Amino acid sequence: MTTAVGLVMAGGSGRRMKESGVQTPKPLVRIAGRSLLEHAVLWQLGAGVSQVLVSVRDDQQEVLDAIKRLSRHYGRSRVRALIETEPLGNAGALFSCRGKYERVLLSFADNISSMEGHLLLEYHEQQGADATLAVHRSSVTFPFGVVSVQDGWIRDYVEKPPVSRLIGIWLCRIRPSVPPESDPSPADRVGGYGACASGGWW
């Protein structure tokens, strides 16, 4: 199995966090003695990737300085910045790796989970998919009453029902043959997009 390269997305603006009054860049918020960024790097290294690329904007100096410190601590050949001169978004940063790396494990600097990255890589390899998305079931309470209507008559009414959906949390490998604009493939197509259920917490 070819060794994967890790890609950590840390280039977001953190607008909502700033609006709440927190000025620290989101990747640098500390939990359990480490920044979210360091947790993300350790998760990637624990998955067995050969190196971790951290996608960051060129104007995020605090985050760039943190990446340099992590690079010195964990090894310059293992952790380095992938600097965006203009916002690339998740897909843009991922597909900037096309043609350079056969297998890419993408994660986000603000995600922490008990899911082990090497299990996602192994599942992906077993499925033979173009890409595999790690999914986690999340439940929320719908904020309104839900009404079912048939022929102008109310058939059912449920006040603020619970809603449970699978959400995407990490992505493993896009093959070089898959273009950036591709939509998820039908489930019956060989080499399509797979899903790996995440147990534990997220």
Strands (E) located in the chain: 5-9, 30-31, 34-35, 52-57, 79-84, 104-108, 131-141, 146-150, 153-158, 162-172, 193-197
Whether the Cβ atoms of residue 106 and residue 170 lie closer than 8 Å to each other = yes
Q: What is the pTM of this model?
A: 0.79
* pLDDT band for position 22 (cuts 50, 70, 90): low
pLDDT at 167: 86
Residue 202 lies in a domain: no
Asked if the structure places residue 149 within a domain, the reply is: no
Q: What is the pLDDT of residues 112-171, one digit of tens each?
A: 888 888 888 888 888 888 888 888 888 999 999 999 999 999 999 999 999 999 888 777
The per-residue pLDDT for 191 is 56
Whether 159 is covered by a domain: the verdict is no
Number of domains in the chain: 1
The pLDDT score that the predictor gives to residue 102 is 81
Task: Give a yes or no: residue 160 inside a domain.
Answer: no
Identity of the highest mean pLDDT range in 14-18, 23-27, 71-75, 136-140: 71-75
pLDDT at 115: 87
* Structural domain harbouring 110: 5-135+166-197
Residue 66 maps to a domain: yes
Q: Is pLDDT above 70 for 93?
A: yes
Give a yes or no: residue 85 inside a domain. Answer: yes
User: Does residue 157 sit within a domain?
Assistant: no
Q: Give the domain CATH number at 35.
A: 3.90.550.10
Q: Decide if 156 is inside a domain.
A: no
pLDDT score for 73: 95
